[in-house]
Amino acid sequence: MNRMVTERRAAIVRCLIDGVGVRATCRITGASKGGVLRLISDLGPVCADYMSATLRDLPCSVLEVDEIWSFVEMKEKRVLPARAHEWIGDVWTFTAICADTKLIPAFMLGTRDAGTATEFLQDLAGRIPGCVQLTTDGHSMYLGAVEDAFAGRVDYAQIVKIYGAPEENEKRYSPAVCTGIETNVIQGDPDRDRISTSYVERANLSIRMGLRRFTRLTNAHSKKVQNHAAALAIFFLHYNFARPHEAVRTPKDNRRTPAMAAGVARAAWTVEDLVRLLEMQERGEDFTAWRK
């Protein structure tokens, strides 16, 4: 079977993680649409498996959790009852970020309910052996999910934002105005100075800027949930291991990544390193043990 060379694959990945759509990526790189989509579907699971195996026993102690909306094929209100069993319509991506290292240790796709929240938080809790301070928004699904996942080894607080009505001439496209914030301590004794969801909300903005399929008010949505999940895995692996983060850089190393700050990588990756994982998998090698 013919395979693209590493340089061509890396060029495609660079476009995709910089907010370029699939068709525009084809025009820039000269690859076919089928070739780009095949690379996404092949590389995404490899990235997810690598992060699942590597991001363990993490030193994260202050975490923020949030969920970001997107949709697959069509918005929820347009899904016909006959297709309600399919995974189309609204899809929520749950993410967590370490406030100190800026590492995103876990993500999960699903519905915005207690079942997905519990499964996501259990996965997150399994990656961090110690006690943590956790902040979420005020959604009720987190109340039982946090206790089920962390079983008492958490200082947990919620931030509830109070919104006012938008201006009369800006109702359709402008978000509601935040008029106040309430901080509610749910469990334990969290440090009130570190009760925040600012970092995870900024990470959500990075997702919308870096993945074309998350851009709202356009036709750049995902057509298949498998490709949606794969594109997210590629983005998160690049964010954690290859993208220098200004908040964790040092005077001696201005290219420090969240993975380096968390002690799970010794050096910043390149996009070619992401592609190398796929090539190792294609050769039948154990790519989950690879370190740079």
Q: For residue 71, tell me if it sits in a domain.
A: yes
Residue 289 banded pLDDT, cuts 50, 70, 90: confident
CATH of the domain at 57: 3.30.420.10
Chain segment 241-254, per-residue pLDDT in tens: 999 999 999 888 88
Domain membership of residue 172 (yes or no) is yes
Question: Does residue 265 sit within a domain?
Answer: yes
Domain membership flag for residue 150: yes
Question: What's the CA gap between 49 and 275, in Å, rounded?
Answer: 14
- Helix axes of 141-150 and 114-127: crossing angle, nearest 10 degrees: 30
Residue found under tokens 């002690």: 263
Bridge partners of residue 154, in order along the sequence: 132
45-73 per-residue burial string, b: 16 or more CB within 10 A, e: under 16: bbbbebbeebbeebebbbbbbbbbebbbb
For 276-285, the CB contacts below 8 A with 24+ separation are 276/6, 277/43, 277/46, 277/47, 277/50, 278/9, 278/42, 278/43, 278/46, 279/6, 281/46, 282/3
Over the Cα atoms of the chain, what is R_g?
20
Tell me whether residue 170 is in a domain: yes
Q: What is the pLDDT of residue 162?
A: 81
For 223, the domain range is 6-289
Residue 159 has pLDDT above 80, yes or no: yes
Q: What is the pLDDT of residues 94-146, one digit of tens each?
A: 999 999 999 999 999 999 999 999 999 999 999 999 999 999 999 999 999 99
Asked whether residue 176 is domain-assigned, the answer is yes
Contact (Cβ atoms closer than 8 angstroms) between residue 9 and residue 30: no
The number of folded domains in the chain is 1
- Specify whether the CB–CB gap between 212 and 220 falls below 8 A: yes
Model confidence over 210-233: pLDDT tens digits? 999 999 888 889 999 999 999 999
SS3 181: strand
pLDDT in tens, 14-53: 999 999 999 999 999 999 999 999 999 999 999 999 999 9
Whether 285 maps to a domain, the answer reads yes
Instruction: Spell out the alpha helix ranges (H) of 128-224.
Output: 141-150, 198-210
Task: Judge whether 1 lies within some domain.
Answer: no
